[in-house]
Amino acid sequence: MRRQRKEDFINDKRRVSYLHAVYNRIYRDQSVLIEGDYGVGKTRFLELIKPKKRKIVWVESLNNIHEILASILQQLDYEAPPAWRRTSKHLKMIKALSGFIIIIDEAGDLNPKVWPYFKRIIDADIPIIFAGLPKVRTFLINEHPDIVSRLKVLMLYPIVVEDFIMDYKDFVPQAVEQIYATTAGDMRKFKEVCADCRDKAKELKLNIIDVELVLSFIEDLLKSRTIGEKREDISSSS
């Protein structure tokens, strides 16, 4: 049996429970908003969503609504050329379908004008899973309270350092703690630093990555954080 990797959040109980919560909503034909700051793993979490007997349709948040609706139909194997004049027709077609879910990452990039269309889709009992920064919910509360009332909001937090230590067994625990503290729990930055360290360790033919090696890669991060803190102190005192 293949060992589950920490990248799949298997040892993060909060994410496991969130995944179950998302599935419960999907199977009840309801929608979800995954909320979290930069680097907490929203995109990776979305990639874990694989409900049974439901096709997954990914939506590019930068597209216009006629492109979005056409893309949804195309991924469901319908011929649907993107065109403004077909927007109403495509929306009607989508609302009449079932057996699929829509996933939208970077929901904060959506054109504000597309939200009423998504409301129609949600009201047709088609689950939509949105993911974005906290500003998405703030926007919806202010501009579309009728939409946010239809969404289950799940707040994603950084994985705790203990979970990282369990997976990065080629690092001494103190090295993992140092990287975690420096990157402030940002998974993207954490993985980048770990990858750099592993490449260097391979070059040096080291089996275990210690704190000294890690520090050589995070000096720039530490310097940038110090500079940022000094700027905050200056601005707050002025």
Q: What CATH number should be reported for the domain whose range is 6-155?
A: 3.40.50.300
Local confidence band at 190 (pLDDT 50, 70, 90 cut-offs): confident
Q: Supply the DSSP string of 129-184, one letter for each residue.
A: EEEE-HHHHHHHHHH-HHHHTTEEEEE--PPPHHHHHHH-TTB-HHHHHHHHHHHT
Q: What's residue 213's pLDDT?
A: 87
Q: What's residue 223's pLDDT?
A: 57
For 62, 124, 159, the CA distances from 111, given in Å and listed in that order, are 7, 21, 31
Q: What's residue 12's pLDDT?
A: 61
Determine what percent of the chain is predicted with pLDDT higher than 90: 59
Q: What value does the mean pLDDT take over residues 217-228?
A: 58
Local confidence band at 230 (pLDDT 50, 70, 90 cut-offs): very low
> Which has more pLDDT, 152 or 227?
152
Q: What's residue 129's pLDDT?
A: 98
Q: What's residue 7's pLDDT?
A: 42
pLDDT tens digits, one per residue of 91-124? 999 999 999 999 999 999 999 999 999 999 999 9
Residues 6+ apart with CB under 8 A from 3: none
Q: What's residue 75's pLDDT?
A: 97
> What distance in Å separates the CA atoms of residue 209 and residue 194, rounded to the nearest whole number?
9
Q: Is the separation of the CB atoms in 58 and 50 below 8 Å?
A: no
Domain ranges, ordered by start, for the chain? 6-155, 161-224
Average pLDDT of the chain to the nearest whole number? 85
Residues 6+ apart with CB under 8 A from 18: 34, 45, 154, 156
Residues 6+ apart with CB under 8 A from 179: 164, 171, 190, 193, 194, 197, 214, 218
| Exposure letters 20-56 (e unless 16+ CB within 10 A, then b) | eebbebbeeebbbbbbbeebbbbebbbebbebeebee
> Which has more pLDDT, 169 or 1?
169
Q: Is the separation of the CB atoms in 154 and 191 below 8 Å?
A: no
Q: What's residue 81's pLDDT?
A: 93
Q: Is the separation of the CB atoms in 124 and 92 below 8 Å?
A: no
> Which has more pLDDT, 45 or 226?
45
| Model confidence at 49: pLDDT above 70 | yes
> Which has more pLDDT, 109 or 196?
109
